[in-house]
Structure 1
Amino acid sequence: MDLYEVFKKFFKGKGGYPKFKKRHSDDGFRYPQGFKVEEDNGRIYLPKIGYVRYRNSRKIEGIPKNVTVRQEADGWYASIQCEFELNNHVIVPNLNTAIGIDMGVKRFLTLSDGNFIKSLEERLKPIENKISLLQRRIKHKVKGSNNIKKAYVKLALLHKRKADIRNNFLHQASTLMVKNHDLIVIEDLKIKNMSKSAKGTIVNPGKNVKAKSGLNRSILNEAWYKFFTYLEYKLKLNGGILIKVDPKHTSQTCIQCGHISKDNRKEQAIFKCVKCGYETNADVNAAQNILRRAGLARIACQANLIRGRQQEPAEVYNSSNIVV
């Protein structure tokens, strides 16, 4: 079923050709039916396995439709997909809460009203230092020995911890945005192109390869694409609107006079227009340009589309992640 869906996206041009995974790289299996969940008793019945005790992370909402069981570094997890009814009444978004978001590396995001959220790098740095230290130690251990096997388990746990910190941060940030803003405008960033290697070829070697490699690592570490995905589905559930705009020249355009020049932003943090002399924080100026670029006409069109569109009767989402 998963392979069928991937091929459908591939032929529609929405995804790449499916690749076979290595054995044990992503161990997991799915039960489309036959399972039972006893929340009050704290156990789940899996066909051909039987009842298994679990620790629940959240209450199950709606009707359980299938369960996916997967292995991670610290144990087995079961993700239950549920079906539930959406509200029949149409939610009209408050356009006065519209906000523009500029993504960055020094700051995770900057809002058009001047507020910002600090980079995720500060939270991940201690874990990354431990990972680097352990990787250096693994290099000197004997392959196939018990010591190297123990070290690999510790390394997997550290990577799991890093992923958990990132996901928790992204959920908190996206939930905060959705609670306070019904309309959010972001840049339509091509993150895959932004994080391409500058190494080049032997004939045509790249320039500033080391600096570009560090920038690529920082961009991928912040997980912008996952943050956009969280924003999109949370806004959909709350009746909000997400608009993506062309990112071209958003950081070089003056919000006051509209003059476009790369000389407007000679420094990373400061924007100073060479034409009118307007000076402000560079990220705030970019976020304000992003919000303006959405356009009142487009906003009104989106709002009318939401009002006139009949919502689907049911929505499927992952209701629970439970640790077995």
Structure 2
Amino acid sequence: MLSGRRYRLALTDEQAEQCQKFGDVCRAVWNAALDQRRQYVDRFTRGRRGPFCGYHLQTSELAEAKAEAPWLKEAPSHVLQQTLKDLDRACRDRGAFKVRWRAKHRWSPSFRFPAGNRIRVQKLNRRWSRAKLPKLGWVRFRSSRPVGGAIRSATLSRKGTRWFVSFLVEDGLLTPEHHPGTPVGVDRGVAVAATTSTGQFHDREFARPGEKARHLKLQKKLSRQKKGSKNRARTLKAMGAVSTRAVDRRGDFCAQLARQLTTRHNVVVLEELRTTNMTASARGSVDAPGKYVRQKAGLNRAILDKGWHRLEMALRNAARKSGTRIVLVNPAYTSQTCYPCRVVDADSRKSQAEFVCTACGHTDHADVNAAKNVCRAAGHAVPACGDFGVARSVKQEPPGTREEVPAQPALELAGNPRAHEVQGGSQPQHLGSWRHA
């Protein structure tokens, strides 16, 4: 199994300057190659055919460009080739016109050494180790944990004022075929980051009140400064130092929660949320300006602050080691559906946290009720009183005579029930449109 190992580097001034040059060269190569690809697509759409502008063509042109531009030789050849390979993959996945430019002030420098056999790591003491990288020599890094496997590649990146190295390692582990756990549904929200169908709430304050006040003060100061000035650069550096703490806390929270969920449960069900579309601006255009722009901007900040997409990525990463399956379901009507009686009514959600069914009177926390619907949408039942382990569960109701319930046929697909259309009035709608096998 391929795993990542990330460490903080302790570079000398010369090494830091050289890494910055490598990043600038890679950024220039990325932008030039992306411009070539966009021109090729534009000519192709107009009916002007020519040689395909792909990775192999651009690699050969890069070797010829080094004779005319000696500054390209400052970075190793395989680093620049890896940049072109990353661009080729991005253009194939998303298209040339959807790949972003790497702007100088909005992109953090990063580059990759793909030749793992040319990278050597030595242990210096309990806290420090060093790695030998092409054209950089020996670089020291904080040995927070063992590398634990054969190195395939090394990626250097800058975050704020610090440089980090990430080793891609073959650790020799295999994904387990069986996980002795129970399914769980997770509802991602704005007030609470994640709520499970077992009734647990997971949340954390990523930015402290003092940090928010300082960041706001720096934003006001930035608006009065001239673009390109040294004072503006210092203010941006201070803002980055404040926001980096919140980003690190968010990443730590997502990693810990993902580890906890994948260890205890064999299936984790999430709503298929497209965060990029949900956080789009509501400004509109000059001819058709949007409505509730400030309210939408506040909602976008709240969604991005909770790290919905980062939690999903952390779950997928942690699931490789535990064998847990990550299932995505349709999020429609999960917050308006009563879990016991399956009646859909927007009036049942009285507030952000209160859910009272208008049909059967069932009362529950709104996020917990939504998480139960998310879990059931994937075809899994949710225990009424929670589950404390694989071999021991609490009883859901006292023993006694029970009415016979007719067996339900198996579901054809894992999805969310759609509501029947009811003509006239605001009558609650019953979910009877489940597709059966």
CA distance in 1, matches of 2:262, 2:112: 32
Aligned to 2:319: 235
| Match for residue 199 of structure 2 among 114, 126, 144 | 114
Matched, 1:69 2:156: yes
In 1, are the aligned partners of 2:90 and 2:99 still within 8 Å (CA)? Answer: no
Conserved 8 A contact 1:94-1:183: no
Query: Which has the higher Rg, Structure 1 or Structure 2?
Result: 2
Q: Normalising to structure 2: TM-score of the pair?
A: 0.62
The aligned amino acid for 1:32 is P
How far the C-alpha of 1:293 sits from its partner, in A, is 0.8
Report the CA distance shift for 1:249/1:223 in structure 2 as closer, same or farther (over 3 A). Answer: same
75, 78, 83: which one aligns with 2:165: 78
Match of 2:114 in 1: 32
The structure richer in strand per residue is: 1
Asked whether 1:128 is paired with 2:128, we answer no
Aligned CA distance change for structure 1 residues 98 and 263 (closer, same or farther; 3 Å): same
Question: What residue in structure 1 maps to residue 247 of structure 2?
Answer: 163
Give secondary structure in 1 for the equivalent of 2:352: coil
Matches within 5 A, 1:192-271: 192-271=276-355
Write the distance in 2 (CA, Å) between the matches of 1:2 and 1:156: 26
Distance in 1, Cα, partners of 2:195 & 2:240 = 33
Q: Deviations over 1:265-294 (max 9, x none)?
A: 132211111111112111111000011111
The CA distance in 1 between the partners of 2:96 and 2:370, in whole Å, is 30
Whether the 8 Å contact between 2:119 and 2:151 is mirrored in structure 1 is no
Per-residue deviation, 1:156: 2.2
Alpha carbon RMSD of aligned pairs, Å? Answer: 2.7
Q: Which residue of 2 aligns with 1:87?
A: 174
Q: Match of 2:315, as an amino acid?
A: L
Ranges in structure 1 where 5+ consecutive residues have no aligned partner: 302-324
- Same amino acid, percent of matched pairs: 32
Distance of 2:320 and 2:227 partners within structure 1: 50
What is the aligned counterpart of 1:20 among 72, 76, 101? 101
Residue 51 (structure 1) shift: 1.4
CA offset at residue 203 of structure 1?
3.6
Letter in 2 for 1:92: H
Q: 1:218 to 1:125 in 2, by over 3 A?
A: farther
Q: Note the C-alpha offset of 1:65.
A: 1.3
Per-residue CA deviation, residues 205-226 of structure 1 (Å, 9 max, x unaligned), is 3222211110011101111111
**Is 1:186 paired with 2:259?**
no
Matched-pair contact (CA < 8 Å) for 1:63–1:83: yes
Are residues 141 and 247 of structure 1, via their aligned partners in 2, closer, same or farther at CA, if it must alter by over 3 Å?
A: closer
- What's the CA shift for 1:126? 3.5
Partner of 1:105: 190
Q: Do the aligned residues in 2 keep the contact of 1:7 with 1:18 (CA within 8 Å)?
A: no
Report how far residue 106 of structure 1 moved.
0.4
What residue identity is the alignment partner of 2:130?
A: R
Kindly indicate whether the alpha-carbon contact (under 8 Å) linking 2:206 and 2:247 is maintained by their aligned counterparts in 1. Answer: no
Mark the CA change 1:203 to 1:20 in structure 2 (over 3 Å): closer, same or farther. Answer: closer
- CA 1:144–1:274 in structure 2 vs 1: closer, same or farther (change >3 Å)? closer
Secondary structure (helix, strand or coil) at the match of 2:373 reads helix
- TM-score between both structures, scaled by the size of structure 1: 0.82
The one-letter code sitting in structure 2 at the alignment partner of 1:168 is D
Identify if the C-alpha distance between structure 1 residues 206 and 110 changes in structure 2 by more than 3 Å, giving closer, same or farther: same
Cα offset, 1:153, TM superposition: 2.4
Structure 1 contact 121–222 (Cα < 8 Å) conserved: no
Which string of whole-angstrom CA distances, capped at 9 and with x for unpartnered residues, describes residues 4-38 of structure 1? 35544654569973222123632122222222111
CA–CA distance in 2 between the matches of 1:87 and 1:299? 31
Higher relative contact order, structure no. (Cα contacts within 8 Å, ≥ 6 residues apart):
1
